[in-house]
Amino acid sequence: MKKNIALFIIFIVAVCLLPFFISGYWLRVLTQTFMFAAIATGSNIIIGYTGYPAFGNIAFFGIGAYVTGVLMTKYEISFIATLPFCALGGFIVAILLGIPLLRLKGHYFAIATVGVMEAMKKIVDNMTEITGGGLGLTLPIMEGDPAYIYKFFYYTILLIMLLSIAIAFIVWKSKFGYALRAIRIDEDAASVMGINTALYKTFAWGISGALVSIAGGAYAYWLTYIDPSTVFVTSYSVKMFAMILLGGATTIFGPMLGAFILELISEIVWSKFIEIHGMILGLLIILVVLFIPKGLFETFKGGFSFRKLVINLRENRL
């Protein structure tokens, strides 16, 4: 763990210096990568730590985007001041939804969260006076030259990613985190041991919803225009899951690593093979599930080995 933290600090110093050496195009790519890393890390608290496949967690991303959008356009609140409201909105909605939905398990819970995302999308679509409905919301455009705006969002979303990782780290190391991992391994046994599983997993989803909502709030101001189809995006859920699987759901830094690998590959594939990029990314996800189902961090903890890949393939009965 100490070695991983040291490498992470070096990585953060490097990404802080990068805006002075790279083009605006790569600033945009990295800003988007930070955003997905924040979403994947925040979602991993309920998906990886607790073992509940919240496939529709992007609903909180949309909630955060609309909290920022409505507060900035209707009440003229500054962007930074909207972010705590994003966190609060995501937390409260996740808690309220978690009370009934977290009684479900496995694919039933996953399907229910997808239904929640679609329901949120329809609600926002029909609240025309507040959200603009299908016409969407146009947020105030940030003042300053393009170079300054690029760097502002780069560092802002980098900080949101670091906040997500810090909270994921605190949760992982706490008694609360141990309880979540116990629920993932065997919820009935955890309950017998005295863990209030309903309370713990509901609170875990609340934290996850808050972190994903903050990322949504930043995205809304970065994009300056939102409508239901741009923030309640099913493909974002697929990406988020793929990132968590690729990096490792049972680790702190795994989702961030998965986000960087998948987003950079996606950007290269998108630019080189625009017509088949979806097929290539789908193939990549299948290979991850077959060869490294525990993610890169867990599979290659002791170093890279082809033998581990073959063992994983045999365990998948192929």
The answer to whether the beta carbons of residues 58 and 241 sit under 8 Å apart is no
Percentage helix, strand, coil for the chain under 3-state DSSP, each rounded to 5: 80, 0, 20
The pTM of the full predicted model, rounded to 2 decimals, is 0.90
C-alpha distance across the termini of the chain, in Å:
33
> What's the CATH number for 1-316?
1.10.3470
For residue 87, the one-letter residue type is A
What is the C-alpha to C-alpha distance for residues 47 and 231, in angstroms, rounded to an integer?
20
Positions of E strands within the chain: 137-138, 225-226
Q: Per-residue pLDDT for the chain (318 aa), expressed as one digit of tens each?
A: 677 778 888 888 999 999 888 888 889 999 999 999 999 999 999 999 999 988 888 999 999 999 999 999 989 899 999 999 999 999 999 999 999 888 888 888 888 998 889 899 999 988 888 888 888 899 998 888 888 999 999 999 999 999 999 999 999 999 999 999 999 998 888 888 888 999 999 999 999 999 999 999 999 999 999 999 899 988 888 888 888 988 888 888 889 988 998 888 877 776 666 666 677 777 777 777 777 777 777 777 766 666 777 776 676 655
In the chain, where are the structural domains located?
A: 1-316
